[in-house]
Amino acid sequence: MMLVIRFEVLQPFPHLPTKPLLRKHPKSVSQGGTTTRSLDKIRIHYVYITVIQRRNFGDINFNRTWTEFASGFGFLGSEFWLGNEKIAHLLNQKSYQLRLEFENVAGQLYQVTYDHFSIGDEWMSYSIVGLGTYGGTADSTTTFCPSNELYSDDVCERRCTDPNECISSSTSSSERDYVCSDDARCEQRDTVRSCYCQDGFEGNGVTCNRVGPRHCQDILDAGTDTAGTFTIYPDGWLVTGLEVRCENGWMVIQKRRKRSNSNFNRSWNDYKNGFRHPSGDFWLDQVIEWCPTNKQFSSYNCERTCNDPQTCLPANPDGRERCVCPENFMISEGNCIPMEECVCFVEDMGVVLPRGEQLMSSDCGTRYQCRSRGITTDRDIHCSNLATCESREGVRGCYCTEWFEGDGITCTRSGPRDCHELYTSGRRNDGVYTIFPTGDLIFQVYCKMSGDGGGWTVLQRRINSSVDFNRNWGNYRRGFGDLLGNHWLGNDRIHALTNQKNYRLIVEVTNAEGTQYKSRYRTFRISGGTDKYRLTIASYSGNTGHNSMTSSSGNQFSTFDQDNDGSSTFNCAEKHRGGWWYPDDRTASNQCYTFQNRGSVVRYEYSDCTCYCWSNNMCPPQSYYQEDCRVSETHCSISIGSHRDGYNRCCENKNPIYETNSFSCGYSNLNGEYQHRDNRGIFWHALHGSDCGITQTTLMIRP
């Protein structure tokens, strides 16, 4: 059954003149001795046919869902339904005729037509909107073109006997030449080229019929039940008939009497060609193609070899039965053998490996490799920690995970080493990403892709007081906090990052008024844990008011439980309530100067008080402020000369409870207590507007 729609158009024939033409016509009136007739403009009629459904052999199931009928299914070269959505779209372009063609079991074709066919869209459930006038009859049949002929407007056909002569397709069928039969050849015999039936067939070349029986059973079926020698014509036998002995429908291929002196110890060729003995004993004495060992006479069309078991070699391109190596057998050195006998057959998996390839077991614990001498088996395989055991495109094995490459046993990093490489690969959104620095470390970082050229890897960020930064050495080594908020990335990770390329550092600080300032350093890196993460930083620029980190260059990292700072007086990490790179006495601002931070109220024990004399005769004034930023009391302003006892009295006169903690280890610490307005809190020396605290900080790097 087939459904087709057609669209018709009438238009001028493109290469013919459109002016009136004159031609002779037997019924025209004679005028002045010339018989003529005026023709109208010549036009051509085009018919466009679109097939929307075809069913031939029942290979495709048409019991489908609504969605499948809407989108279409099947194969356009055989059976299919075009799809309701496409049909609706087609029918809404022009006016179409619908033709339904049916074929009965006798091969007769019937058709009916509707001259205006249209359907609605999906919203209308593809309902039929119109059919128009019915045409055709169920009683009329359509004749198909003969074999190998096409319905076409081609006007030239040619004969085998005279291929250079063009015969008009309008010539009567008795004068036309047809295509040779499949059992005939178009060739020249006795100077006449034509279609000639092959041996064993007879006919005119267009139609060829087999001559004689194909086997002994045909002779028996024809009524001859006596034993004797007969000529048969087996399928595919292209030489003259084959003489065989038939006995009641059976073909005898060997006969050997009990007391015969005939010799059957013969050569290969004797058995191939057949032989007879005067006594009557014989081996079928005709050249007949017996299938070699393990091959079968079949139309099976796919042979495989042991060396390349994945490639299908066509065995019967014309569809005829031949001796072929069947399924589960393979060709090796010209012989058809069971696949289990192939050199590279993997018994555990039941497959044959191509030469030079390998195969993994289901758990990826065993690897089989096909070598020239057979299979080698390695049962001690372990996928890399950076790989997974899975099947890809039908091949199971160890496959390196994303951003890694290798054979799955060994995987090397091929992914982004920092946020800048992610940025150059096209990532543009701020957020958490996984990076793969040089070495075995794999971890997540927060990437700032917007601003300052993008691609910045964040090492530290503080936005509120929810995370305590007064942590021990192990916490700072591993990292802590939330990458989306307050966090320290971890010194091991910072070391891995900063030692794979040359990195720049940006320090962002925001004061209590909400103003952001930036310090930029063209060089930033830290050493490993054995060197206590020593800092290297240089080449400052920015608007923070002071280069507050260069003095820390060359110093090791310190926490309250690992005092690696350069101060001879204090444990700076304990004093400033956070891990940092604190400088030594020679470069630090560790002198007794008065902090002018408004509202600076501190409470330290008396042992913290150390008064450094600015001159030989005077200690500097030491002040503290109440929370309303009003000066309340001043100490240590007595002229004491250079006497030691006077120095001690100066310090003893200080208030042990409300003493100003004026001593500072260096010019910066971004990991102190959140928003304290003295040197216990986050501080950056000489930052404008920071007398009431720093509210936000960020450290980030980029190559």
Q: What is the CATH number of the domain that holds 430?
A: 3.90.215.10
- In terms of domains, do 338 and 390 share one? no
Dihedrals phi, psi of 138, to nearest 5 degrees = -75, -10
List phi, psi (to 5°) of 218: -60, -40
Please work out, in degrees rounded to the nearest 5, the angle formed at the alpha carbon of residue 27 by the alpha carbons of 26 and 28.
Answer: 100
Assess if residue 631 is contained within a domain: no
Last residue of a domain, one of 90, 114, 136: 136
Whether residue 40 is predicted with pLDDT greater than 70 in this model: the reply is: no
Residue 155 lies in a domain: no
Top pLDDT among 239 and 434 is at 434
Instruction: Say whether both 445 and 493 belong to one domain.
Output: yes
Is residue 521 classed exposed, middle or buried when 0-12, 13-18 and 19+ CB atoms within 10 A define those classes? buried
How many other CB atoms are found less than 10 A from the CB of residue 597? Answer: 20
Among 74, 101, 136, identify where a domain stops: 136
Q: 473 and 581, same structural domain?
A: yes
Residue 302: both structure tokens together = 């796919």
Q: Indicate if 95 and 129 belong to the same structural domain.
A: yes
Number of domains, the chain: 4
What are the structure tokens assigned to 458, written together? 């964040």
Is 437 a domain residue? yes
Separation of alpha carbons 243 and 427, rounded Å: 82
471 and 329 share a domain?
no
pLDDT, tens digit, for every residue of 46-63? 556 889 998 887 778 899
Structure tokens at 529: 């844990």
Cα separation, 193 vs 173, in Å, equals 20
Query: Taking Cα atoms as reference points, which of 116, 82, 75, 122 lies closest to residue 98?
Result: 116
The tens digit of pLDDT for each residue in 532-550 reads 999 999 999 999 888 999 9
The pLDDT of 625-653, averaged and rounded, is: 33
The string of pLDDT tens digits covering residues 265-300 is 888 888 877 887 777 777 876 545 567 788 887 777
* Same domain, yes or no: 451 and 400: no
**416-474 pLDDT, tens digit each:** 999 999 999 999 999 999 998 876 778 999 999 999 999 999 999 999 999 999 999 99
User: Residue 514's domain spans which residues?
Assistant: 415-617+655-702
Q: How many secondary structure helices (H) and strands (E) does the chain include?
A: 9, 53
Same domain for 439 and 534?
yes
Check: CB of residue 233 under 8 Å from CB of residue 219.
no
Confidence bin at 10 (pLDDT 50/70/90): very low
User: What is the predicted pLDDT for the residue at 239?
Assistant: 54
Dihedral in degrees, nearest 10, Cα atoms 319, 324, 326, 329: -150
Same domain for 462 and 576, yes or no, is yes
Q: Please choose, from the candidates 200, 205, 249, 204, the residue with its C-alpha nearest in 3D space to the C-alpha of residue 228.
A: 249
The secondary structure of the chain in percent helix, strand, coil, rounded to multiples of 5, reads 10, 35, 55
User: Residue 229 domain-assigned?
Assistant: no
Are 403 and 443 members of one domain? no
- Residue 193, classified by CB atoms within 10 Å of its CB into exposed (0-12), middle (13-18) or buried (19+), is middle
406 and 509 inside one domain = no
Average pLDDT, the chain: 76
Q: Is there a single domain that holds both residue 473 and residue 330?
A: no
Q: Are residues 675 and 599 in the same domain?
A: yes
Q: What is the pTM of this model?
A: 0.43
In a domain, 87, yes or no: yes
- Phi and psi torsions of 229, nearest 5°: -95, 130
Three-class SS state of 473: helix
Q: Buried b / exposed e across 239-249, counting CB within 10 Å, b at 16+?
A: eebbebbbeee
Residue 563 lies in a domain: yes
Give the residues across from 346 on adjacent strands.
Answer: 351
In which band, very low, low, confident or very high, does the pLDDT at 100 lie, cut at 50, 70 and 90?
confident
Residue after which a domain boundary falls, among 362, 394, 414: 414
Tally of CB atoms within 10 A around 528: 13
pLDDT at 485 over 90: yes
146 located within any domain: no
Domain assignment present for residue 84? The answer is yes
H helices present in 344-434, as ranges: 419-424
Q: Do 698 and 507 meet the contact criterion of CB atoms below 8 Å apart?
A: yes
Residue 563 pLDDT class (50, 70, 90 cuts): very high
Estimate to the nearest angstrom the gap between the alpha carbon of 133 and the chain centroid. 53
Residue position matching structure tokens 């490799």: 369
Residues of the chain with pLDDT > 70, as a percent, come to: 72
- pLDDT recorded at residue 236: 60
